[in-house]
Every structure is written in C-alpha cells, then in structure tokens.
C-alpha cells in the first residue's frame, strides 16, 4: 500500500481544497499521472501520482479541505523508492508514500487515549466565540474539514438564547389587551395569517477560490494595522506618453496600458523608499528588506480579485513589462497560472479604474507592507496659478502597515510618485 499526502505548497499555505478528482477507486494510474486538482488561495495545482498502481481508497472528497500531511489517496502498489519519491515530489507539492503500520500494531485491540486536539478555527471565529461566551470545544463543526465557522458559533449562541428564554415564556402568558385579542385564531383572521408564505433566505457555502481569498483578506485586515493616504495626480503627462508609445507597441503586437508605465515609475521609487518593498517577520520582530522587485498586479476575474506577480520587474524593458502583464492577467482570468506566477510579490499595484472604480481603501496583500491603488483618469476642474483649468486627474490611495510606515513617510512616497507621474519622461533615466 502507498499513500499520497498533501505536501507543503509554500508561501505559508497549510491547507488546500480538493477541486476535482481525475481518477476513481479501482482505476489504474501510472507514475506521474495527474490524479487530483487542489486549490489554494493562490492557484489551482495539479498533483501527480507518486507510483504506478490501482486506486484503493480516496480519503478526501471533492469540495473538502485537506491540511498539509493529510492522506489524499491510497494506492495498491509497492512503496516507491526514495529516488522515485524525490523525482515525483519535486516541484509538485507531493509527499512520498509511507509504509503501512506493522501487523503487530494492526492486531492490537486497545488503543491509548488520543491527546486532546485544539479546535480548528480562524482568529475571527475565536474572537467571536469569546465575545459571545461560546466554548469552541462544545461546537460541532458544519464543515467537512472539521473547522468551526462563524455560522457555527452564531447557531450555538442562538440556541442558548432560545433555551434561556423559553422557560419564562412557558410560565407567563400575557393577558389579552383587547376583546379581539381574546378571540380564537379562526376564520378570516387565521386565513390572513396563512395566505402569505414566509420568504426563505438562500444560503450558499463559502468554498473554492472565494473562500481562500476571504481567509487571506481576513488575515491581512486583522493582522496588519492599516492606514490609508489619499491623493490625486495630474495624469496629462502620462496620457501623452502612452499615446506617443502606443502605436509603436502595437506594431510589435503589444497592447500598452497605463499599468506598465506606472510599474516602470514605481521601481526607482521603491529603491528610494526601501521599506515599502519590505515585509515584517512577526515572530522574530524583524524587518525584511527585499532586494527583488516582484510587483503584484491585481486582476479582476469572474470569481474574484487575483494578484498575478510580475517577477524581477526592475530587469525588464517597458515592452517586456507590457507583454508579461497582459499574459499574466489573461492567465489569471483563465486560472492557468502556475504557483510562482501568483505568489511572492513584494509590492502590489491595483488598477481599480479597470473595473469602473474611482477610489477606495485597498487592503494590503499580506505579508507585504503597502499597496497602491489608482482609479480612472477623468477630466476635473483644478486651480493652477490662480486659474481654474480642466485637467485629466487620476485618484490615488496608498494603504500601508502603520507598524513600519508612518503618515509622514507615506506622504513623502506619494509626493515623489506624483512628481514622477506628472513628468513620466524621467523613466528614461532608469530604462533597462
């Protein structure tokens, strides 16, 4: 017997949801044949079989969540050699099979009492349970993976409230206020109460990518003390530069948007203000200054917002950035990106104008320390040298981790960014 376990998928991800089994019990599979697709908050990952053999048992079903180390499937096959394990596990998120327990252990009729396990619940659920006085150990999880949800806690609290209030309701019956109240509920009065059926609310489980993104956002919002600085910048110079370069890029088969230009302008800024390209090691209380510039680009997909990553943006030309960004956004919408293409970003840029947004408060992409959002460029009346003129203005919103960045530093960062955007020809000085 051989087992396929969920291995460490990197980026601090400890669990994944089973999207689809590509085999069923009784099927014969080959070494490295893809047997299952799992989904993290980053990507859909295909996991291959570590052996050639027959599928004996599938332990985690479609839609269920597995944690790192959980057995996904059991094969009727010889245990593979160490070399085979290493080859199939490398880069695929697969742990090698382990031998079954010994016959002696299998024939024992009594087992020692298992140690008490900690209830599975995210910090938001634990906080709610504490506030509502609910003991998590008394909650029966509704999720197949055994994790207690917010709805589980609320259900227990509601039941307790009903139980506490029911004895009083049973022992005291209020006297009728009017003669009509004293009449039995019959005839027309009863008919009026029964003709209108109660409206039933619809409930849908939070699953798949939407669930992963929700958990990621929850962690970011609860872990990082957010602060946001708002401003707007004259985008006239940026518009003019794009219009000049756009026909040249199109001749090379590349669509030039504002994002590649803004990424090019961001790189020297991140080098000038290195803390914005950093992260915080919360356990060791150390600031990690990143020397690579992997820019996350938020992309709207049919399911939710994803953040594909443009790696080593400082080493790419403007046209290379434009080509890569277009490919990454297209891959995010089709869910075809690999794990390295959706993880490891050091700073995120969010174009809220691409889906009609003006401005808002962006949530930091943990474990980064800042995110910059820009909205649609729109004509607005502004005062220049005492005269009201109409200029193409672009709104900006910079959210930052207040543990590492204060208001003065964020203001300086935005002021320098505005200077670069309003005079974008300066990017010529930093061309790769």
Residues annotated catalytic, as ranges: 402
Q: How are strands ordered across the β-sheet holding 15-21? A: 44-48, 34-39, 15-21, 65-67
Distance between CA atoms of 378 and 384, rounded to whole angstroms? Answer: 17
Distance between CA atoms of 250 and 124, rounded to whole angstroms? Answer: 48
Residue 344 DSSP code: -
Whether the CB-CB separation of 79 and 99 falls below 8 Å is answered with: yes
Angle between helices 208-223 and 123-132 (to 10 degrees): 70
Residue 280 DSSP code: E
User: In Å, how far from its chain's centre is CA 125?
Assistant: 18
Burial 363-402 (b: 16+ CB within 10 A, else e): bbbbbbbbbbbbbbbeeeeeeeeeeeeebbbbbbbbbbbe
Residue 12 DSSP code: T
Whether the CB-CB separation of 38 and 18 falls below 8 Å is answered with: yes
Whether the CB-CB separation of 414 and 396 falls below 8 Å is answered with: yes
**Residue 118, helix vs strand vs coil:** coil
Distance between CA atoms of 94 and 88, rounded to whole angstroms? Answer: 7
Whether the CB-CB separation of 280 and 318 falls below 8 Å is answered with: no
Residue 69 DSSP code: T
Q: What is the chain's alpha carbon radius of gyration, rounded to the nearest angstrom?
A: 29
Token digits for 176? 């009728």
DSSP assignment of 291-341 equals: SS--EEE-EE-SSSEE--EETTGGGS-HHHHHHHHHHHHHHHHHT---GGG
């Amino acid at each position: 017997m051989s087992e396929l376990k969920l291995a460490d998928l990197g980026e601090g991800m400890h669990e994944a949801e089973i999207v689809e089994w590509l085999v069923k019990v009784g099927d014969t599979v080959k070494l490295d044949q893809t047997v299952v697709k799992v989904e993290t908050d980053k990507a859909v990952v295909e996991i291959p079989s570590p052996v050639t053999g027959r599928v004996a048992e599938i332990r985690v079903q479609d839609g269920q969540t597995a944690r790192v180390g959980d057995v996904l499937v059991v094969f009727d096959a010889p245990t593979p050699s160490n070399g085979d394990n290493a080859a199939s596990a490398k880069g695929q998120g697969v742990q090698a099979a382990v031998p079954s327990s010994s016959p002696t252990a299998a024939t024992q009729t009594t087992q020692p009492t298992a140690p008490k396990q900690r209830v599975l619940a995210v910090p938001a659920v634990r906080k709610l349970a504490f506030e509502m006085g609910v003991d998590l150990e008394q909650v029966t999880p509704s999720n197949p993976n055994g994790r207690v949800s917010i709805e589980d806690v609320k259900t227990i609290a509601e039941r307790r409230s009903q139980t506490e209030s029911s004895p009083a309701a049973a022992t005291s019956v209020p006297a009728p206020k009017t003669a009509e109240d004293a009449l039995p509920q019959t005839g027309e009065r009863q008919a009026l109460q029964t003709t209108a059926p109660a409206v039933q609310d619809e409930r849908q489980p939070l699953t798949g990518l939407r669930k992963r993104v929700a958990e990621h956002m929850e962690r970011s919002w609860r872990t990082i003390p957010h602060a946001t600085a708002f401003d707007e910048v004259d985008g006239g110079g940026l518009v003019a530069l794009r219009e000049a370069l756009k026909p040249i890029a199109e001749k090379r088969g590349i669509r030039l948007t504002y994002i590649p230009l803004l990424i090019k302008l961001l790189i020297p800024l991140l080098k000038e203000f290195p803390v914005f390209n950093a992260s915080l090691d919360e356990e060791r209380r150390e600031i990690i200054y990143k020397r690579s510039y992997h820019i996350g680009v938020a992309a709207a997909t049919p399911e939710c917002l994803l953040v594909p990553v443009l790696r080593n943006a400082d080493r790419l030309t403007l046209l290379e950035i434009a080509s890569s960004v277009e490919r990454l956004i297209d891959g995010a919408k089709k869910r075809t990106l690999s794990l390295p293409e959706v993880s490891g970003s050091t700073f995120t840029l969010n174009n809220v104008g691409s889906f009609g947004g003006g401005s808002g408060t962006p949530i930091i992409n943990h474990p980064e320390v800042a995110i910059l959002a820009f909205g649609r460029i729109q004509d607005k009346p502004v005062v220049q040298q005492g005269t009201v003129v109409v200029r193409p203005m672009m709104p900006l919103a910079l959210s930052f981790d207040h543990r590492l960045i204060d208001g003065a530093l964020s203001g300086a960062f935005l002021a320098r960014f505005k200077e670069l955007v309003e005079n974008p020809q300066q990017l010529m000085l930093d061309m790769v």
